[in-house]
Structure 1
């Protein structure tokens, strides 16, 4: 059987089956890790009669993992995007970015556990599927900070690229905190992280 590789050639049934397999892969990888997430285990989780059904829809494990990473990124966009307003001030946009990121981490913990397992287990995951998106996100934050400086909303003198990296590092730490603390008070954590980020860039009075 030849795998279906072009999304625009898929029937409704094939697209639904691929989505089902990707969802099962996310759950399986989150639970057992990347290296132990065999087609057999993913097929069992998806309720498929045979692992060969996965091979029909995906050429190999790498193609499936690429779709898993794409699904995690798409889910992040769906959560974070509604928090953003193109007409908002730089301060409000920064607030929305931090709030949206934490909301995504909180509501998609299995997705993010799976992504972390992939990054830790696949030797080429970052350069194949993650680095470009991370670089684009960092550039967007840097541009936001520079805009805030030009408009006088943020203090002058700091390096937007360096502060953008620090903000990303803070959010990476927040993700680890959420994944490791099931009973975390997410509302309080979000509120204080937003206050910390905004205070770090607000003009000195």
Structure 2
């Protein structure tokens, strides 16, 4: 299973402290991806990370909420870097929409464990011991970004006249559908699926003659 190898550094930490934090975050990601959110405990994380005690997790992250916050922000940061690497320098709104759709789907292909973790955290956002910001952040993060892109394109005349909020939710749900379809049947080319989905929405949001 491919797990995040690079965790964004926190200012003020020694190299040893940062390495330990990264080790714990990677172990948490792997454990949630394999066992699910509910079955992930400090004891299981300790075992996977090869720690001597669960107290080390508390030392570096304080509480479960602190650990989940670090896991979510790391996963989202990885997804953002993945998109930026593929859309670098793109200012055309249509090209940006295509890149967003295609790379969201390709990210799920290349890093399925990361997608599973984000979905697991979102599905258990009601956990009283979890990070309370996780639910609103994950539910609105991607849809909000798509909606802003659509509104910017409309203001510039690149896109037609339509409800941007509804279109954003439709695009996000279609991306999720592609990911779910691939999870159930990994055979089809997910990148080709993404290109076809981008083709469809490029036509759907284009200005009408």
Q: TM-score range by the shorter chain?
A: 0.7 to 0.9
1:109 Cα offset (Å): 0.6
1:62 is paired with a residue of what secondary structure?
Answer: helix
2-side partners of 1:197 and 1:104: how far apart?
19
TM-score by length of 2: 0.84
Q: 1:178 aligns with which of 175, 178, 182?
A: 182
Match of 2:196 in 1: 192
Task: Please identify the structure whose Cα radius of gyration is greater.
Answer: 1
Q: Does 1:108 align with 2:108?
A: no
1-side partners of 2:131 and 2:179: how far apart?
18
2-side partners of 1:151 and 1:8: how far apart?
39
Structure 2: 5+ residue stretches without partners: 1-9
Q: Which has the higher helix share?
A: 1
- Further displaced range: 84-93 or 41-50: 84-93
Contact 1:69 1:129 in 2 (8 A): yes
- Residue deviations 1:147-185 (CA, integer Å, cap 9, x gap): 3334433233x1222211211121222232233333331
Contact 2:86 2:99 in 1 (8 A): yes
TM-score by length of 1: 0.85
Match of 1:46 in 2: 49
Say what the alpha-carbon RMSD is for the aligned residues.
2.3
Q: Does 1:90 align with 2:85?
A: no
Match of 1:4 in 2: none
Q: 2:21 aligns with which of 14, 18, 26?
A: 18
- Further displaced range: 183-192 or 82-91: 82-91
Structure 1: 5+ residue stretches without partners: 1-6
1:174 is paired with a residue of what secondary structure?
Answer: helix
2-side partners of 1:11 and 1:126: how far apart?
25
Contact 1:119 1:126 in 2 (8 A): no
- Residue deviations 1:61-120 (CA, integer Å, cap 9, x gap): 221111111111011101011222455321111111111211211111111112222222
Judged with a 3 Å threshold, the aligned counterparts in structure 2 of structure 1 residues 9 and 87 are, in CA distance, closer, same or farther, namely: closer
1-side partners of 2:188 and 2:131: how far apart?
29
1:130 Cα offset (Å): 4.4
2-side partners of 1:130 and 1:60: how far apart?
17
Contact 1:81 1:100 in 2 (8 A): no
Q: Does 1:149 align with 2:141?
A: no
Structure 1: 4+ residue segments shifted above 6 A: none
Q: How many residues align?
A: 199
